[in-house]
Amino acid sequence: MSEMIVNQAIGEALAEEMRRDPTVVMFGEGVATKRKDLVAEFGSQRVRNTPMAEGIIAGTAAGAAATGLRPIVDLLFAPFLCLAMDEIINSAGKLRYISGGQFSFPLVAIAMTGGGWTVGAQHNHNNEAWFVHSPGLKVVMPSNAADFKGLLKSAIRDDNPVIFFIDMPLMYQAGQVPAGEHIVPLGKAATLREGKDVTIISYAKVVHTCMQAANTLAQIGVSAEVIDLRSLKPLDEKALIDSARKTGRVLIVHEASRMCGVGAEVAAIVAEQAFEALKAPVLRLTGPDAPAPSSYVLEQAFMPQPDGVVAAVKKLMG
């Protein structure tokens, strides 16, 4: 166990997996420039810079994945995924099915998103639900350094395309990371705090907002359980349902906009499978239906804040 920032945890996962499996390769805009240690250890065949061309980066990953490599591609910022949608959705996501199972697509596409760097709407767009809604893909969005390492290792080993979102401000956040073989399975949520009055479900950076709120709530006698989804697809339905049945009150918090977001699915699952246990309607606290702003003040207003989480829980408590 040692303390490191998320970016280092990612680097550790990449290096360990490339060492373990010679078919793991990585490419993207600036990958070889930024990860010189990987180039030094694994060579320029396996770690490559690419032209600024997201479509061909993702398509190359899909083609390589189907024919024996396990590519990891860095597509930089989540809005840039728009330029790689055909390759991710129509090729990587569908060609296994279309081909009757002849091919598999073990690839990881990394993209950053989330408010905090005031980069505005064309570099920050929490579009993770688009990929959750598309068949054949898996989607993860970790919240802490240890999970970044463990989930990235699982994503690289998975035989399916995994979209790996990095909430931008987490990049330089430090945390304790287990050395060596630390694996976090895809599809397994983490209960970060046990509670009995209310369940707060979240993922990525906003998990920390929810933890802060839970501390405040404890001071006023409300015991909040905080669940970090970690994987958005597959979704750990059992963890959600069990917790909803235990507390009877559910708040979902994410930065992505509300309509058809991950929170909508979580709310529906809870309503379908734990309705009899609910003491109050399921609530969502989300970003607005607006492009992500760049002004610091507006960006902070866009993102769920601890006060807002506390207020929403108070509403749930009646």
Contact flag: residue 82 with other proteins (CB under 8 A): no
Burial of 87 (0-12, 13-18, 19+ CB in 10 A): buried
Contact 308, 275 (CB under 8 A): no
Binds other proteins (CB under 8 A): choice among 6, 32, 47, 65: 65
Contact flag: residue 136 with other proteins (CB under 8 A): yes
Contact flag: residue 187 with other proteins (CB under 8 A): no
- Write the single-letter amino acid at 135: P
Q: At what angle do helices 237-247 and 262-274 cross, to 10 degrees?
A: 60
Binding residues among 271-310 for other proteins as defined by CB under 8 A: none
Secondary-structure breakdown of the chain: helix, strand, coil percentages, each rounded to the nearest 5: 45, 20, 35
Q: Nearest-5° angle of CA 248, CA 252, CA 254? A: 170
Contact flag: residue 63 with other proteins (CB under 8 A): yes
Contact flag: residue 62 with other proteins (CB under 8 A): yes
Contact flag: residue 55 with other proteins (CB under 8 A): yes
Residues sharing a CB contact under 8 Å with residue 45, sequence separation 6 or more, in sequence order: 25
| Minimum CB distance to other proteins smaller for 48 or for 205 | 48
Q: What are phi and psi of 121, to 5 degrees?
A: -70, -20
- Write the single-letter amino acid at 237: E
- Write the single-letter amino acid at 69: L
User: Could you tell me which stretch among 89-97, 118-126, 269-277, 292-300 binds other proteins (CB under 8 A)?
Assistant: 89-97
Q: How far is the CB of 229 from other proteins (least distance, A)?
A: 19
Q: How far is the CB of 234 from other proteins (least distance, A)?
A: 9
Binds other proteins (CB under 8 A): choice among 28, 59, 248, 263: 59
Binds other proteins (CB under 8 A): choice among 31, 32, 64, 141: 64
**Residue 123 catalytic?**
yes
Q: What are phi and psi of 301, to 5 degrees?
A: -70, -30
Q: Tell me the C-alpha distance between 37 and 45, whole Å.
A: 14
| Minimum CB distance to other proteins smaller for 91 or for 113 | 91
Q: At what angle do helices 306-317 and 206-219 cross, to 10 degrees?
A: 50
Count other C-beta atoms under 10 Å from residue 307's C-beta: 12
- Write the single-letter amino acid at 106: P
Binds other proteins (CB under 8 A): choice among 5, 7, 34, 103: 103
| Minimum CB distance to other proteins smaller for 4 or for 110 | 110
- CA-wise closest residue to 233 among 276, 258, 266, 196: 266
Contact flag: residue 185 with other proteins (CB under 8 A): no
Contact 225, 269 (CB under 8 A): no
User: Could you tell me which stretch among 41-49, 173-181, 270-278, 310-318 binds other proteins (CB under 8 A)?
Assistant: 41-49
In the set 123, 125, 182, 208, the catalytic residue is: 123
| Minimum CB distance to other proteins smaller for 86 or for 194 | 86
Binds other proteins (CB under 8 A): choice among 5, 34, 50, 298: 50
Binding stretches for other proteins (CB under 8 A): 23, 25, 45-46, 48, 50-51, 53, 55-56, 58-69, 71, 86-87, 90-91, 95-106, 135-136, 138, 159-160
Q: List residues with catalytic annotation.
A: 123
